[in-house]
Amino acid sequence: MQWFLNFYSNGGSLFMTFVTIPGVLMLVCAVFKALKMSNKFAPIQKSEKLIKELSLLALMMGIFGQLIGLYGAFEAIEAAGGVSMSLLAAGLKISSHTTLYGFLYFVLGRIALVYFAYTDSIEEK
């Protein structure tokens, strides 16, 4: 658990939160669909589309967060006149946290969609 908290805080709370919001909403939609529950936010008929779009939004927000972080880092490098390779590598590693976090939600969403497609095909038989 401590590893995850360090990962989250190192990635930057702002963009990690921007990734978390659509990711958690996607997981909620997936749980409602799995339990065959319907509500005003995610009717069962639209839940697969919501899962798809929210997982993609989480991934895109992660990539956007990384690009913003890289832009800021490159501005600082330019102002400093250069940095060591180890410092550059550490910065690239930290900037990839938001993308990895967004990719995690994206993969979870895709796994849920595959599961729903499989269970729907079994129910049709």
Per-residue pLDDT band at 39 (split at 50, 70, 90): low
pLDDT in tens, 74-114: 898 889 888 888 888 888 898 999 999 999 999 999 999 99
Specify the pTM: 0.86
* Cα–Cα distance measured from residue 75 to residue 34, given in angstroms and rounded to the nearest whole number: 46
Q: What is the pLDDT of residue 3?
A: 87
DSSP character at residue 39: -
Q: What is the pLDDT of residue 83?
A: 86
Cβ 73 vs Cβ 91: under 8 Å: yes
DSSP count for the chain of H helices, then E strands: 4, 0
